[in-house]
Structure 1
């Protein structure tokens, strides 16, 4: 049983997944941020791989990615940083870690090399929103599975039921339920979101469901958790780090505001 399965076996509700950008606010912040998130209650860490053209990301995450790229973050640098992630003598990260990013830099790095290096450093899963289902089935899925990585697909309120069923059959780890078809960081009408999440719950999918986009505080987190196994927060946390780059202090304060 891998770390993601283990997590959902022991905690079926209220799972908090926090997104952070690798190499932000400083190039060497990656592991400090991850450790602070783990120490303050994050159940999953979603580590963003900065890219110059992030289609699904709103301005806050785009800006953090731009800063990280200027800081010198690359996939090569990231894997160097993550080498000690699971060492008890190093960072001692024990929670599931997911890499989120886009196909272009991954293909430039070499897809199989990327999966091999991710697996070797202790990464648990991947979110690549611009990897089409057909290409996943025919070309990339077997490589991802070869290295023991989970792959997380996204669904939206507009995704037809038949496609949701297919995604549920192909996904491992969990399903990322996007609260609406927009970019990250936008405010949402959560009464509408709840109807959509209730529909997903009624479908009795085999994978756990985490909700993302527009989750920013205790109220939206609790609302998202009513009909899902947990929620994903990204822009609000990045914004907090932007306002106060003291990683330990900011992370503690931010997670306490969500979980306490």
Structure 2
């Protein structure tokens, strides 16, 4: 059983996945940020690989990615940082990014290295379903990595069920068809999540995009296994002076 599946077997509700950008705010912040997230109550860490053209990300995460790139972050540098990760980080870790830099690194080499350093799963929003099924899914499975697809309120029931079948670990429910960080009407989101519940999906569902505080986290968790916070945490890191205290204060107000 994967470490992600084990998490959801042990914790059926209020699972908190926090997104952070590798190499932000400083190049060597990656591991300290991850350690602070685990110490402060994050159940799962979604580690963003910075990219110059991140289609699904809003301005806050885009800017953090540009800062990380300017700091010198690359996939090779990231894997070097992560090689000692499992000495200090025990929660599941998912790499989130885009296909272009992964393909430049070499897709199989990327999966092999990710597994080697202790990464548990991948989110690649621009990897299409067809290419996953015909080319890349077998490689991902070969290295024991979970793969998480995204669905939106506009995704048809048939497609949601297909992506649920292809996903392992969990299904990422984008709260609306927009970029990360924008405000959401949580009443509309609740109706969408109730619809997903009615499909009796095989994977647990985590809600992302627009989850930023206790109120939005609670609302998301009412009809899903948990939620994903990204932009709000990046903002906190940007304005805070200390990774540990900033992270503890931010997660405390979400989980209180």
Normalising by structure 1, report the TM-score.
Answer: 0.98
**5 Å matches for 1:231-246?**
231-246=227-242
Alignment partner, residue 200 of structure 1: 196
1:199-248 C-alpha deviation (Å, 9 max, x unpaired): 00111100000000000000000000000000000000000011114100
Give the corresponding residue for 1:37.
37
Q: Does 1:124 align with 2:120?
A: yes
Matching residue of 1:52: 52
Among 210, 214, 219, the residue aligned to 1:218:
214
Q: After the TM superposition, which segments of 4 or more aligned residues of structure 1 sit over 4 Å from their partners?
A: none
Q: Is the 8 A contact 1:83 1:121 kept in 2?
A: yes
Task: Name the structure 1 match of 2:18.
Answer: 18
Q: Does 1:181 align with 2:181?
A: no
Distance, in Å, in 2 between the alignment partners of 1:3 and 1:42 is 15
Structure 2 Cα separation of the partners of residues 259 and 86 of structure 1 = 25
- Unmatched 5+ residue regions in structure 1? none
The Cα of 1:2 is off from its aligned counterpart by: 1.4
* Structure 2: gaps of 5 or more residues: none
SS at match of 1:205: coil
Once residues 99 and 31 of structure 1 are traced to their aligned partners in structure 2, the CA distance between those partners, rounded to angstroms, is 14
> In structure 1, how many angstroms separate the alpha carbons of the residues matched to 2:233 and 2:151?
23
CA distance in 1, matches of 2:22, 2:79: 10
* Equivalent in the alignment of 2:63: 63
* Structure-1 residue corresponding to 2:27: 27
Equivalent-residue separation in structure 2 for 1:133 and 1:6 (angstroms) = 25
In structure 2, the partner of 1:109 is: 105
Q: Contact 1:20 / 1:238 at 8 angstroms: preserved in 2?
A: yes
Measure, in 1, the Cα distance between the counterparts of 2:75 and 2:164: 29
- The answer to whether the aligner puts 1:247 opposite 2:226 as a matched pair is no
Does the 8 A contact of 1:19 with 1:45 survive in 2?
yes
**Secondary structure in structure 1 of the residue aligned to 2:9:** helix
2:216 and 2:241 map into 1 onto residues whose CA distance is 24
**Structure 2: distance between partners of 1:175 and 1:169:** 10
TM-score, normalised relative to structure 2:
0.99
The whole-number CA distance in structure 2 between the counterparts of 1:7 and 1:184 is 25
